[in-house]
C-alpha cells in the first residue's frame, strides 16, 4: 500500500530537488570554469590538503571526499596525469596505496579556493537567514547520520 506524497510534501520534495540541484550546478560550473576541475575533484584535493603529509590511503580518502572507491580511483588517475596527485604503495599493507597532494596540486587548490568559497556563499549561505542556516545544519546532520553507512 503506497503512501503517496500529499500536496505539501510534493512541493517540499520538488523544491528540495530543485534547490540542491541548483546549488550543485552552480558549484560545479564555477569550479569547471575558473579552475578547470569538477567539484568532486576539488573535494579530493581538499581532503588531501588536510591530511598529515597531505597524504592518505585511498579508502580513507574515498570516505572523506564522499566518493565511491571506483570513482576515486578513476579521479586520482586523472589528477595524477595533471601532476596534482601522486600515488605511492603502502608498506604495511601491500594491497594498499597512498595518494599524496603535490605542490602543484596544492597550488591549484589554493588558486581555486577563493572563487569556490564565494560561490558557496552566493548560492547558499547568503540566501538564508542565520536562523535558517542553523536549521539547515541540524537537518543535514540528521540526514547524514541516518543515511551514512
Partner DNA sequence: TCTGAGTATATGAGAGTTCAACTAAAATGG
Partner DNA sequence: CCATTTTAGTTGAACTCTCATATACTCAGA
Q: From the list a second copy, DNA, none, pick the one residue 77 interacts with, judged by a Cβ distance below 5 to 8 Å according to partner type.
A: DNA
Binding to a second copy in span 12-71, by CB under 8 A: 12-13, 15-24, 26, 43, 66
C-beta closer to a second copy: residue 73 or 123:
123
- Per CB under 8 A, the segment of 52-60, 84-92, 101-109, 114-122 that binds a second copy is 114-122
CA-wise closest residue to 123 among 1, 4, 20, 43:
20
CB of 56 to a second copy, least distance (A): 16
Q: From the list a second copy, DNA, none, pick the one residue 71 interacts with, judged by a Cβ distance below 5 to 8 Å according to partner type.
A: DNA
Any bridge partners for residue 56, and if so which? 99
- Per CB under 8 A, the segment of 30-38, 71-79, 80-88, 122-130 that binds a second copy is 122-130
Give the three cell numbers for residue 96: 594498499
How far does Cα 57 stand from its chain's mean position? 17
Answer yes or no whether residue 127 interacts with a second copy by CB under 8 A: yes
Task: Please give the sequence-ordered ranges of beta strands (E in DSSP) within the chain, or none if there are none.
Answer: 55-57, 85-89, 97-101
Sites of contact with DNA (CB under 7 A): 25, 28-29, 32-33, 37-38, 40-41, 57-60, 62, 67-78, 87, 90, 93-97
Answer yes or no whether residue 4 interacts with a second copy by CB under 8 A: yes
Q: Which segments of the chain does DSSP mark as H helices, in order? A: 7-35, 39-49, 58-64, 69-81, 103-123, 130-147
Q: What are phi and psi of 129, to 5 degrees?
A: -75, 160
Amino acid at each position: 500500500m503506497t503512501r503517496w506524497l500529499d500536496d505539501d510534501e510534493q512541493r517540499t520534495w520538488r523544491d528540495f530537488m530543485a534547490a540542491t540541484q541548483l546549488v550543485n550546478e552552480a558549484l560545479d560550473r564555477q569550479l569547471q570554469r575558473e579552475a578547470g576541475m569538477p567539484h568532486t575533484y576539488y573535494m579530493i584535493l581538499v581532503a588531501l590538503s588536510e591530511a598529515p603529509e597531505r597524504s592518505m590511503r585511498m579508502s580513507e580518502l574515498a570516505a572523506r571526499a564522499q566518493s565511491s572507491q571506483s570513482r576515486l580511483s578513476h579521479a586520482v588517475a586523472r589528477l595524477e596525469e595533471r601532476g596534482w596527485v601522486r600515488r605511492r604503495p603502502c608498506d604495511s599493507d601491500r594491497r594498499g596505496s597512498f595518494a599524496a597532494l603535490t605542490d602543484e596540486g596544492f597550488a591549484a587548490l589554493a588558486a581555486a579556493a577563493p572563487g569556490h568559497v564565494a560561490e558557496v556563499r552566493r548560492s547558499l549561505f547568503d540566501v538564508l537567514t542565520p536562523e535558517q542556516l542553523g536549521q539547515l545544519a541540524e537537518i543535514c546532520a540528521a540526514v547524514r547520520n541516518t543515511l551514512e553507512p
